[in-house]
Amino acid sequence: MTVVTGVEARGGEHCETTALGVLLRHEGLDLSEPMLFGLGSGLSFVYWDSKAMGFPFLGGRVRPFELTRNLAAQLGLDLRVRETTSARRAWEDVAAPIDAGRPVGLQLDSFHLDHFRTKVHFGGHIVAMYGYDEHHAHLVDTAQQGGAVRTGLDGLARARAARGPMTARHRSFTLTVPASAPTPVERIVPAVTACAAAFLDPPIANLGHRGVETAGRRVRTWLGRTDDPGRDLVRAARLMEEAGTGGSLFRNLYRDFLAESAELLGNPGLRTGHRLYAEAATLWTSVAGLIEKAGTSGDARHLEQAGATLGEIAALEREAMRTLSRLTE
């Protein structure tokens, strides 16, 4: 068995920040999960729907791997990314750094992983891999999925080769922290203002604060989108809260990032943003609860209330981001 020594298998709440934490701690840079999320300008929102989809999808963060690229740019990290259509080359791209004593990040479809408890296709899942033997890969996933886990090499190969929404071509990556890298505290304000600018000025109406407003209008029609509301609405609600796709998980992470940053910098704008996102996170949880009630009861009044609450959230988050966009270093 080949295992990288010195890996701290600390499972977090979100897959990408969990993997980033593993890779960076191995490099000697230990940041909290909220700090990783915030420095990566990870907060966003998307209301995603199309004719090819059975049911709408609500996303509460930036696209998979964008957070990693943002974080590397903010902190001056050396990010090495490998992609290929060859399964053989893909394995070599992973085995080589592990053999050399360095953990590797992987983007893959969680459906094919042995340890994954919920069998839903999601091509944007990210894990850290730190070892392998003849039959299994040793991974670090979120705490919800078990933290330090192992999965069969055949399933891992299928997960990495999967094609569909949000998938990548056998993507793997490593991170190195240069000696000249800026301190994380120096990059808090630039990361916050970049996140705020993107949220306040989205290119289309399904993103950012406009996307939350769009969700508020369209969620009211969801009973007409399904023949099985007890399945689709309940699943959407649980994904919001348990997977964080549109619920409070990412708002909680950003709230805690703003609190930690306010303590470090003493900036009143950060304290205001923290207060507003604490309120928004609570409202997101109530929206998920209302959607689940609509699914179990078939009563459209719950969706009307959810839509109205989403309107409140859009206004609240817009106010928070306007405050944060005006921060100065």
Beta strands in 89-202 (DSSP E): 104-108, 125-132, 136-140, 148-152, 172-176
Q: How far from 26 is each of 31, 60, 266, CA to CA, in Å?
A: 12, 28, 30
d(CA 257, CA 4): 30
Alpha helices by DSSP H, listed for 131-247, are 153-161, 188-200, 208-218, 229-238
Reported pTM: 0.95
104 and 172 Cβ atoms separated by less than 8 Å = yes
| Per-residue pLDDT, 318 | 98
H helices present in the chain, as ranges: 15-26, 33-39, 66-75, 87-99, 153-161, 188-200, 208-218, 229-238, 248-265, 268-297, 300-325
- Is the Cα torsion angle 120, 121, 122, 125 positive or negative in sign? positive
Nearest to 99 by CA among 137, 130, 78, 138: 130
What is the Cα–Cα distance from 11 to 27, expressed in whole angstroms? 17
The bridge status of strand 172-176 relative to strand 104-108 is antiparallel
The predicted pLDDT at position 67 comes to: 98
Half-sphere exposure of 271 (CA within 13 A, CB side): 6
What is the model's pLDDT at position 245? 59
CA 321/CA 197 separation, integer angstroms:
8
Averages of pLDDT over runs of 10 residues in the chain (329 residues) are 94 94 97 98 92 83 96 98 97 98 97 86 94 97 93 97 93 96 96 98 95 96 94 89 72 96 97 97 94 96 98 97 93
d(CA 325, CA 308): 26
Residues in the chain: 329
- Does the domain made of 2-30+78-176 have the CATH classification 3.40.50? no
Domain ranges of the chain: 2-30+78-176, 184-325
Is 200 in contact with 104 (CB distance < 8 Å)? Answer: no
**What is the Cα–Cα distance from 96 to 25, expressed in whole angstroms?**
20
pLDDT of residue 51: 75
Take residue 316 and report the two structure tokens written for it: 């609240």
3-state SS assignment for residue 137 = strand
Token pair recorded at residue 147: 């933290």
pLDDT number for residue 87: 96
Residues 6+ away with beta carbon under 8 Å from 60: 43, 44, 45, 240, 244, 245, 246, 247, 249, 250, 251, 284
Q: Are 164 and 109 in contact (CB under 8 A)?
A: yes
